[in-house]
Amino acid sequence: AHARLNPMATISPVSSGTSAASSATETTTRLPQKVLGQQDFMKLLAVQFQMQDPMKPMEDTAFIAQTAQFTALENSTAMTSELARLRQDQQRAVANSYLGHRVTVELADGKTVTGPVSAIENSASGPQLVVNGEKHALSAVLRVEPGLVSAPATAPAKTGA
């Protein structure tokens, strides 16, 4: 029997802390992600192919299962972003429906303001209702009342026929 080499023995140890710290400032900092993405899945799959035993290649069913999981991940990601767009559209539609209506909104200090919605401003955080010249988040609305109803225009009087 012959001795097996330890693959870890060929890895050089990390040098002193000062050179490691200086090299860390030269390279870009990697920010951890909370969700594995499409690129991460492809990298894992490529590494799995490289590291598999040639005498026991991955079975077709395992590869198909992983491909199906990847497809499900892509579909889930697409659905999540589509639902976010749908939510934004719904919020804009609700905000627009308040135009001309009298609303009561809650301020950050717990006080309330009541007045007609004169405009809608879209911001990165969502639509903002303009009430009495001040912007308020759609989520701050406590009450909605019908707007002022103007009297219908009178038809011109008919003159002699």
pLDDT in tens, 14-56: 544 444 444 444 556 666 666 666 777 778 778 877 777 777 7
Give me the pLDDT at residue 87, please. Answer: 93
* pLDDT over 80 at 130, yes or no: yes
Distances in whole angstroms, Cα of residue 25 to Cα of each of 16, 22, 32, 33, 98: 15, 5, 17, 21, 53
Give me the pLDDT at residue 95, please. Answer: 94
